[in-house]
Amino acid sequence: MRLEKKKLLFTAMLLSFVVKLMACQASEIVFSSPQTEVTADISTDTNSPDVQSNATALPEEISEQQPLATSNAFSSGSEERSIPSPRQFHAMAYDSNRKVVVMFGGRDKHNSYLNDMWEFDGQNWHYIATALSPTPRSNSAMVYDPNNDLILLYGGGDENWTYDTWIYDATRNWRILSGIGAPHVFNPSLIYDLEQKRILLFGQARTGDYETWQFTEGFWQQLDVQLPFPQDIRGMLFADYSMIYDAERQRIILQTALDRTYELINGNWQLVLSKDSGDGYLPGAFGPTVYDFRQGLSVFFGITSPNEPLEMEMWNYSNGIWGEVNLTNYPPVRTNHAMVYDESRGVVVLFGGYEMDKNLVLNDTWEYDGATWLQR
């Protein structure tokens, strides 16, 4: 019975992603010109959308009646709390200028959507109050741009999927960017390309295709990038994925849940590893991957198999090869957690997620220094 329960939990996790992927193929979108300027346009409507508990909500186009921004008033008095509430599907980024981990939104233990913002300085979490904020959402992506000292947040949503772009800059406030021709993709992944000084976005469109976009100097531009994958699994290739910037090789990596690793080479995604490659590939990666600047390699931490017992696994990607890392101490088994790399302290920071065995949404903080995990 325990085995069946775990298999059912794992299957439910996969289906939560696949349902969203398949649903978004039901309607097509029309893209505008490939390069369009976006301008600041802060909404003054501070009415929040209704929050409903629905774990399998299907993405829909954002309606004109939905607010573009809300006031960041957190009713639970989190200014006085020392730790964020339990959550999953939240977004995190590392601000290397101020040397803090920044976290936004997600879904709480009641499956309600959040839009609170927190910073972790290596010792404590601090709630950050802003005049305006993105609407409550989960499954958004966030990245820090060190060249312009700003954080960019894209997409996510509640029962309705949004395709908005938000900037959190040196003023320490959020502002929304609007413009024709912005990306319309869901389950986004963002990285900052240090070599070309640009933000890259990867995600799936409603057509079932996967798109790659760049954001530079206030512009979103769709790249003419092809992604090779079997047509018989079109739209279901990636139930989960992570895009990583490999600073050592100045290469952009895309790790997917179905045993496939791609690299952006000469302007196109190229398949470099899969289960057909033999040794050196990462099987069924459900979880985030981050780049460890100190070690010069990518670090995956998540679940790779529904086999009994469910276990967390760590893998490193270096010089085009994945290798498993065997440790004795791991954080509890979970999914839907978020991780970033703290460059100033040389550690991977993990927060929250969903512990399937206990049906528990988490709010624990862990750090990995390249040798061991430590709970903060």
23-32, 298-307, 343-352 — which is least confidently predicted? 23-32
**What average pLDDT does the segment 41-46 reach?**
34
Give residue 28's pLDDT. Answer: 35
Across the beta sheet with 125-127, the strand order is 91-95, 100-107, 113-120, 125-127
Question: pLDDT band at 347, cuts 50/70/90?
Answer: very high
- Higher pLDDT: 140 or 56? It is 140
What is the number of other CB atoms lying within 10 angstroms of the CB of residue 55?
9
Give residue 33's pLDDT. Answer: 32
Q: Residues with Cβ < 8 Å from 124, sequence gap 6 or more?
A: 82
Q: Residues with Cβ < 8 Å from 169, sequence gap 6 or more?
A: 148, 149, 150, 151, 175
- Look at residue 8 and tell me whether its pLDDT is greater than 70: no
Of these ranges, 34-48, 254-268, 357-371, the one predicted with the greatest mean pLDDT is 357-371
Question: What whole-number distance in Å separates Cα of residue 145 and Cα of residue 35?
Answer: 20
- Look at residue 56 and tell me whether its pLDDT is greater than 90: no
Q: Which two tokens stand for residue 143?
A: 């990245």
- How many alpha carbons fall within 13 Å on the CB side of residue 355? 13
- Look at residue 182 and tell me whether its pLDDT is greater than 80: yes
- Look at residue 376 and tell me whether its pLDDT is greater than 70: yes
Q: Which two tokens stand for residue 363?
A: 């709010």
Give residue 235's pLDDT. Answer: 52
- Higher pLDDT: 88 or 29? It is 88
By percentage, how much of the chain surpasses pLDDT 70?
74
Question: For residue 84, which phi and psi values (nearest 5 degrees)?
Answer: -65, 155
- Look at residue 13 and tell me whether its pLDDT is greater than 70: no
52-56, 273-277, 318-322 — which is least confidently predicted? 52-56
92-101, 189-198, 220-229 — which is least confidently predicted? 220-229
For residue 350, CA distances in Å to 68, 71, 106, 195 come to 29, 27, 14, 26
Query: What's the residue count for the chain?
Result: 376
**What average pLDDT does the segment 335-364 reach?**
95
- Higher pLDDT: 178 or 130? It is 130
DSSP state, 301?
A: E
Is residue 253 within a helix (H) or strand (E), and if so which, with residue range?
strand 251-256
Give residue 234's pLDDT. Answer: 54
- Look at residue 39 and tell me whether its pLDDT is greater than 50: no
Q: Which two tokens stand for residue 189?
A: 């992944």
* Nearest Cα residue to 226 out of 258, 257, 193, 271: 271
End-to-end Cα, the chain, rounded Å: 34
- Look at residue 58 and tell me whether its pLDDT is greater than 80: no
Fold of 2-375: Neuraminidase (2.120.10)
Here the contacts of 256-262 (C-beta below 8 Å, separation 24 or greater) are 256/285, 257/17, 257/284, 257/285, 257/286, 258/233, 258/284, 259/283, 259/284, 260/229, 261/317, 261/322, 262/227
- Look at residue 255 and tell me whether its pLDDT is greater than 60: yes
Q: Residues with Cβ < 8 Å from 86, sequence gap 6 or more?
A: 108, 109, 352, 360, 361, 362, 363
Per residue in 103-128, pLDDT (tens digit) is 999 999 999 999 999 999 999 999 99
Give residue 239's pLDDT. Answer: 58
Average predicted confidence (pLDDT) for the chain:
79
